[in-house]
Amino acid sequence: MLNNHMAGNNCAPVTPRTRLERLLRNRELRKINRILNSNDDFGEGTVDAELEAENIGLLHEETLLEGVDGSEWPEGPPKQRLLVVANRLPVSAVRRGEDSWQLEISVGGLVSALLGVKEFDARWIGWAGVNVPDEIGQRALTKALAEKRCIPVFLDEDIVHQYYNGYCNNILWPLFHYLGLPQEDRLATTRSFQSQFDAYKKANQMFADVVNEHYEEGDVVWCHDYHLMFLPKCLKEHNNNMKVGWFLHTPFPSSEIHRMLPSRSELLRSVLAADLVGFHTYDYARHFVSACTRILGLEGTPEGVEDQGKLTRVAAFPIGIDSERFIRALELPQVQEHMKELKERFAGRKVMLGVDRLDMIKGIPQKILAFEEFLEQNPEWRDKVVLLQIAVPTRTDVPEYQKLTSQVHEIVGRINGRFGTLTAVPIHHLDRSLDFHALCALYAVTDVALVTSLRDGMNLVSYEFVACQAFKKGVLILSEFAGAAQSLGAGALLVNPWNISEVAASIGYALNMPADEREKRHNHNFRHVTTHTSQEWAATFVSELNDTIVEAQLRTRQVLPLLPVQVAIERYLESNNRLLILGFNATLTEPVDALGRRGGQIRELEPRLHPELKEPFKKLCADKKTTIVVLSGSDRTILDENFGEYNMWLAAENGMFLRLTTGEWMTTMPENLNMDWVDSVKHVFEYFTERTPRSHFELRETSLVWNYKYADVDFGRIQARDMLQHLWTGPISNAAVDVVQGGRSVEVRAVGVTKGAAIDRILGEIVHNQGMKAPIDYVLCVGHFLTKDEDIYTFFEPELPAELPTIARSRSPDHFVSPVPKIPCSKTRSKAHLRKQRSLPTLENSSFVNAAWRPIVRERISMHEGSSVLDLKGENYFSCAVSRKRSNARYLLATPDDVVTLLKDLADSSSL
């Protein structure tokens, strides 16, 4: 098989066309590399039996010393560098002298996962766990860690206290595990939310500074866990081209829980700065997307979270273990000896096992109480079963953990006193960790493993148990609240750990399970554990991150270029008759309040003009060479309230009503416009307004708009889908109407009512009213228009040459040529002098006039025959979409604030 792959390399490679094809190709390449590197083994090695748990789980990763030493890395071609950034380094430092350090090994699932990934040149960045205030000590420690491919971040004691003990362990960790925020007495020990959050941001910036110092172009930066949620933003602000991924090793809570956090929005936006965000399970990923949607008001997609065209990919990457290491360990003599001792010790009794950190979320008291209920209900099992509970101490200085330890000891003592004998007790409880070999032996002789976490990110104990059960084929009882339930749930007995009776019944079922069922369940889980290894998890994440960058680059090519402001101003000053067409809502409106509140609070039902635009408008309107048209879907009264003091043209309801601010409103509606559908649609809108709290609808003369921007986001979308289905199959099925969907609105309007259709008539009226003699030679069109109304952008595009009859009028910047910078050009459109020309007879004889449009002005001002209304070169036309990365416009203005800046610059230049 390998030879076939190698032989195929002589053929011309097929370029993957889609993201899935690229990922499949990378997967095959990883398999080939794994085969090629199969002889490069790190070996088994040993670890000091005295080591205890420190980070993610239990301390039994004896291979850490091997592989982190640079001398052990296999030689070969240059590999992509991987900067792994975690709160703690995989080594702990102990100072032996002024310039001497001893490095002790800390381990966890993350360390094990990355050791087996040989495709990357990995380096670790993190805190060494000690305060090193002097430069001599810092230099010596940096040098010692460099030999292990580790780079230290030096944090002082106050930062550690408030960042790590405070914000991370006192706020984020409990909240993410559904334990809620700390009460005042707990909060006081680490000061306040704000001081802790400030320390958290400061610490994250210190991590970012170290990353930036060691970063080389092309590196992948992989940030880990809730300690570093602010890090992606810090990194991207320094270098937006950096490849940044972030992975959470705990659960991510429901948006209802996350919204309790005072800094909720800032943390979410900081994580969204990453290119790829990973979680253990789909549930956690779904909760994160929901939080971004409900709290930030962003768009959740099947691929992730989209914010103004920028997509952050969100996906589930279940972590695994190095299963081969556990399987091979069972053959070691020392493990075989341990197994023999255990079998002799517990001969004639079924062995049940629990391996947990002594933590509130691990459900140890619930597990023991369930075992007690099982013994009560099944007295025949009292001398035939034993529960071995390994409880690894953690955070022994915290009162809550001390209280939990006492509680567990009390329950164990009571049960042993109740059901024990002089020669045997039902529960063996150990307040310490086991070395790797002893733990493997214990897994191998166990009949039933009990993992009853109240809430757990993944819990790899269940994976380790399955990997060591090749001969015994024991039963796994697994909490449905552990992340592993998503992976191993099919072969395990899933339980609700809070339901003591259910867990007790499951224990009885597991102990009496037929051999054939045990084997089927074990085989199912064993396939998963041996396939979804920790190495595969790490390689998959980095591969997806690399591909996410490729996908982002492809998306960027479709995104509009930013408006070349200086060029637009220069063309403006050089022109003789300028036309500015401006949208209103989300273009000229004032920004959201400084606090950025969401949650459906009504700030203004009606849009208001940005206060900083008043002076620029006065200057622009005073310029006789400049004509301004505000073209909006809003009602006439709203435009009157906001623009009545300026000398400009107002076009309301998508151009169906028009007036110069010094004149009266005129209608441009067709006389035969059929509005019989209004009543039936109005009844539908009233019904859905009643059903959808905080929604409202507007009845206009040419359209109806149902708006749910203040309603619950998800519920509003569901209601909108229901409404659309009802409209299309009922009231408007045979009506001459268009249904236009906005971001959080549904609009029904008569067919042909668009801004692009109205602009021709508006333009003619402006020319007649003002008696223009010089043609319009400059057009700036700016707006956050609905897709239906983007025909206004293409209205002014230069006409295609006659020799290209098969190509429709240009719909995107790719279809025309202009000497203005950043405009993409097509080889078939090399005539930069193309112009858009409209004469007065063209306007008077247009299809809009012939379609029985009502006359607006009874008497026309006579103009010289053939006088041009438009004489517009391509380089003098600037169409700009606001906040919409994909559009028929030529350019992009990212925010309404950019519109304000542009109009200020135009006004200042014009007045000069």
Nearest by Cα to 244 from 272, 285, 280: 272
Instruction: Check whether 873 has a pLDDT greater than 70.
Output: yes
Instruction: Check whether 48 has a pLDDT greater than 80.
Output: no
Lowest mean pLDDT among 196-200, 290-294, 722-726, 847-851: 847-851
**Cβ atoms 166, 196 nearer than 8 A:** yes
Q: What is the pLDDT of residues 677-700, one digit of tens each?
A: 888 888 899 999 999 998 888 888
Helix (H) or strand (E) holding 739: strand 737-741
CA distance 797 to 811: 9
CA distance 204 to 206: 5
**Cβ atoms 650, 643 nearer than 8 A:** yes
Q: What is the pLDDT of residue 815?
A: 33
**Cβ atoms 279, 316 nearer than 8 A:** yes
- The SS3 assignment for 61 reads coil
Q: What is the pLDDT of residue 1?
A: 39
Q: What is the pLDDT of residue 277?
A: 96
The DSSP secondary structure of 165-220, one letter per residue, reads IIIIIIIIHHHHTT-----HHHHHTT--HHHHHHHHHHHHHHHHHHHHHH--TT-E
- Stretch 646-655: mean pLDDT, rounded? 89
Higher pLDDT, 904 or 99: 904
- Stretch 383-387: mean pLDDT, rounded? 95
Per residue in 40-75, is it b (16+ CB within 10 Å) or e — as a string? eebeeeebeeebebbbbbbbbbbbbbebbeeeebee
Nearest by Cα to 219 from 77, 317, 122: 122
Q: What is the pLDDT of residue 822?
A: 32
Q: What is the pLDDT of residue 219?
A: 92
Q: What is the pLDDT of residue 852?
A: 33
Pairing of strands 310-316, 304-307: antiparallel
Lowest mean pLDDT among 31-40, 219-228, 403-412, 431-440: 31-40
Q: What is the pLDDT of residues 434-470, one digit of tens each?
A: 999 999 999 999 999 999 999 999 889 999 999 999 8
Q: What is the pLDDT of residue 802?
A: 36
Q: What is the pLDDT of residue 717?
A: 87
Q: How far is CA 871 from CA 734, 763, 843, in A?
A: 41, 13, 14
Q: What is the band of 148 on the pLDDT scale with cuts at 50, 70, 90?
A: confident
Q: What is the pLDDT of residues 266-318, one digit of tens each?
A: 999 999 999 999 999 999 999 999 999 889 888 888 889 988 778 899 999 99
Q: What is the pLDDT of residue 37?
A: 58
Q: What is the pLDDT of residue 38?
A: 54
Q: What is the pLDDT of residue 98?
A: 80
CA distance 154 to 432: 30
- The neighbouring-strand residues paired with 91 are 105
Q: Which two tokens stand for residue 385?
A: 């079963």
pLDDT over 90, % of the chain: 45
**Cβ atoms 786, 742 nearer than 8 A:** yes
Q: What is the pLDDT of residue 19?
A: 67
Instruction: Check whether 53 has a pLDDT greater than 70.
Output: no
Higher pLDDT, 330 or 842: 330
Instruction: Check whether 831 has a pLDDT greater than 50.
Output: no
Q: What is the band of 139 on the pLDDT scale with cuts at 50, 70, 90?
A: very high
Q: What is the band of 702 on the pLDDT scale with cuts at 50, 70, 90?
A: confident
Q: What is the pLDDT of residue 758?
A: 81
Helix (H) or strand (E) holding 237: helix 231-238
Q: What is the pLDDT of residue 40?
A: 45
- Stretch 649-658: mean pLDDT, rounded? 87
Lowest mean pLDDT among 508-517, 706-715, 816-825, 829-838: 816-825
Lowest mean pLDDT among 437-446, 666-675, 842-851: 842-851
CA distance 702 to 749: 6
SS (H, E, C) 784-839: CCCHHHCHHHHHCCCCCCCCCCCCCCCCCHHHCCCCCCCCCCCCCCCCCCCEEEEE
Residues contacting 57, CB < 8 A, separation 6+: 108, 109, 357, 460, 461
Q: Which range has the top average pLDDT, 81-90, 95-104, 114-123?
A: 81-90
- Stretch 54-67: mean pLDDT, rounded? 34
Q: What is the pLDDT of residues 176-223, one digit of tens each?
A: 999 888 765 555 655 678 889 999 999 999 999 999 999 999 899 999
Average pLDDT over the chain reads: 81
Lowest mean pLDDT among 30-34, 145-149, 702-706, 902-906: 30-34
- Stretch 59-84: mean pLDDT, rounded? 52
